[in-house]
Amino acid sequence: MDRTQRCLTLIRRRRLSSTTKTKILMRPVIADEFDPPFAVIEPDGQTIPFVFNVPHSGAIYPASFLAASRLDAMALRRSEDAFVDELFAPAVGLGAPLMTAHFPRAYLDLNREPYELDSRMFDGRLPPFANTRSMRVAGGLGTIPRIVADGQEIYRSRLPVEEALRRIEWLYKPYHRMLRQLVRRTAQVFGHAVLIDCHSMPSSSVSREDGAKADIVLGDRYGTSCATLLVNLVEAALRERGYTVLRNKPYAGGFITEHYGEPALGRHALQIEINRALYMDERSMQKKPGFASLSHDLTRVFAQVIAEIDGELTVRPIAAE
C-alpha cells in the first residue's frame, strides 16, 4: 500500500522518545472523519520559549470529502505541506511543543481568517460577517479552498453552507484556541514567546534571484511580526549550513504570522517556508534520501538560535517616572 492510499485512512504515526507525551484534541462530531483532528506533542517540561506549528501537513482525506471532489487523492495533495510535521518533530527534543493538524489544507485552511469564504461555492447564505472579497478568496484559496495549489477546482458542485460552518466551528476554532493557549502559556512562563509557523513551498513557486533558487523563505510580514534579531539569527544559522535564504518573497507570512506576532508584547511569529525539492520528489510525493539531513539541520539551526537569543526578546517593564 503506497502513501497516497494510507493517508486516506491512517494518521502518520510518529516515533516519540520516552521523554515526550502527546496531548490529543478531539471533537465527537468529527471523530469518525479525523481521529484526532489535531495534536500537540509536548516535551516532559517546556524549557524554551518556542512553539512550533505545522498547520498544512495533514494527510487524512475523509471518504465524504473525496466523494465530493472532482479530483483524486494525489491531485488534492498538491496543496499539502507533506512531511513538514516530521521535519520539525525533533524540535520537541529541544524542549518546545509542536502542534500539528491532521486534516488537509484542501479541506480547511488554518492560515486564513475564520470566515474568508467564497459565496459562489455554497448553497445557502453565508453569515453577514464573512469576508467574501479578500484577494485570497478571489484566488480560490479561502478558508474553505475552491482550488488546489495548481489551480484545479476541488468540488463537483456547491457545498451546503452548513458544511463550511461545521468545519470552522469544529476544526478551525478549536485549533486556534489551542494555539493561542500555547503561545499565551509560553509568554507567561518565559516572559516572551516565539511561534515558528512551519510550511513548505513548491520548487516552481520560487523565482530565481542572484542566479539561484531559494531553499528557504523566512516571512516576518516585512518586519512587523517578530524582532529583527530573531530573523537575523535564523537566516545566519541557515546560511552557515549552506542554504539559500530569502525574506518575505514570495511568502511574507499569512494569517497566523500576522495575528500571532505582537513583538511589542513579547510575542513573536516567524513563518518558514522550505523548498519541497530539498526533501521530497514533488511528483511522486516520496521522501528523498536528504530528508533526515535536512531535519537534523533545522533542529540544529533552532538550537543555535535559542542559545544566541538568551532572553533578548523578553519585554521588560518600563520604570515609572
Query: 254-288 pLDDT, tens per residue?
Result: 999 999 999 999 999 999 999 999 999 999 999 99
Q: Are 143 and 126 in contact (CB under 8 A)?
A: no
Q: If pLDDT is split at 50, 70 and 90, which confidence band does 28 have?
A: very low
Lowest mean pLDDT segment, chosen from 34-38, 146-150, 300-304 = 34-38
Q: In this structure, is residue 265 part of a structural domain?
A: yes
Percent of the chain with pLDDT over 90: 81
Please name the amino acid found at residue 83.
F
pLDDT digits (tens, 9 = 90+) for 46-76: 999 999 999 999 999 999 999 999 999 999 9
Q: If pLDDT is split at 50, 70 and 90, which confidence band does 321 have?
A: very low
pTM of the model: 0.89
Length of the chain (residues): 321
Q: In this structure, is residue 102 part of a structural domain?
A: yes
Q: In this structure, is residue 131 part of a structural domain?
A: no
Which pLDDT value is given to residue 207? 61
Which pLDDT value is given to residue 310? 72
- Domain of residue 268, CATH code: 3.40.630.40
Structural domain count of the chain = 1
Q: Which of 48, 42, 122 is nearest to 89 (CA)?
A: 42
Helix residue ranges, H only, 56-207: 63-68, 73-76, 84-88, 135-138, 161-167, 173-190
Q: In this structure, is residue 286 part of a structural domain?
A: yes
Lowest mean pLDDT segment, chosen from 14-18, 78-82, 134-138 = 14-18
Q: Which domain holds residue 287?
A: 3-109+174-309
Which pLDDT value is given to residue 319? 40
Q: In this structure, is residue 129 part of a structural domain?
A: no
Rounded Cα distance, 275 and 216, in Å: 6
Q: What angle do CA 23, 25, 31 make, to 5 degrees?
A: 135
Q: Which of 304, 269, 306 is nearest to 111 (CA)?
A: 269
Q: Which residue has the cell 465530493?
A: 68
pLDDT digits (tens, 9 = 90+) for 141-154: 999 999 998 899 99
Rounded Cα distance, 104 and 85, in Å: 12
Residue 11 has pLDDT above 80, yes or no: no
Q: Which DSSP category does 176 fall into?
A: H
Residue 5 has pLDDT above 80, yes or no: no
Which pLDDT value is given to residue 312? 75
Q: In this structure, is residue 16 part of a structural domain?
A: yes
pLDDT digits (tens, 9 = 90+) for 188-238: 999 999 999 999 999 987 665 544 589 999 999 999 999 999 999 999 999
Q: In this structure, is residue 120 part of a structural domain?
A: no
Q: In this structure, is residue 262 part of a structural domain?
A: yes
